[in-house]
Amino acid sequence: MRVLGVDPGLTRCGIGVVDVAADRRATLVAVGVVGTKADEPLDVRLLAIARAIDEWLDRHEPEVVAVERVFSQLNVSTVMGVAQASGVVIAAAARRGIPVALHTPSEVKAAVTGSGRADKEAVTRMVTKILRLETAPRPADAADALALALAHAWRGSAPGSPSAVGRTTAMQATALTAAQRLWQEAEAKARRGR
């Protein structure tokens, strides 16, 4: 399975592509970061991300795109920027008919390190080890994108996985993590508030 992982952000958008065999052995295909300047207009920043994502999707032809799902009530401006970048990525994949899966940071950390509370350095160390790299991918956004791709390949295709975009079935709800349940409750609350 070839997965393109995206750690969305306006200033730094991490992108990583991995191939994962049926035995879970993963191989790095490509990794990078799309950067935009904070003083640029929003439309220019989103266009730069859109062009880069289009190029990566066309060049690497992933079977699925894994995007970080962010749920935070603390910093609204950061969440908005991440959501805007995520939307650009999701739309680019949808134009090509590539499925998109969303994973929370705690799901990704747990899949890669065994702990949903691991710090960025622990994630980077494990990504480096899993992919048998000589040097760690930098900055952390690049490593996070690879971690997303790995997490999806290992967990996203499992039976009952709630990570695919869309509503979760009742049967899948029993397999949700605490973070996924919180996200689902927040989505339901937002729908009721409309």
The residues annotated with a catalytic role in the active site are: 7, 68, 141
Pairing of strands 12-20, 26-35: antiparallel
Three-point CA angle 12, 18, 21, nearest 5°: 160
Tell me the sheet residues that pair with 35: 12
Structure tokens at 10: 């306006």
Strand ranges of the sheet holding 26-35, from the earlier edge strand across to the other edge: 26-35, 12-20, 2-7, 64-68, 100-103
**DSSP E strand stretches across the chain:** 2-7, 12-20, 26-35, 64-68, 100-103
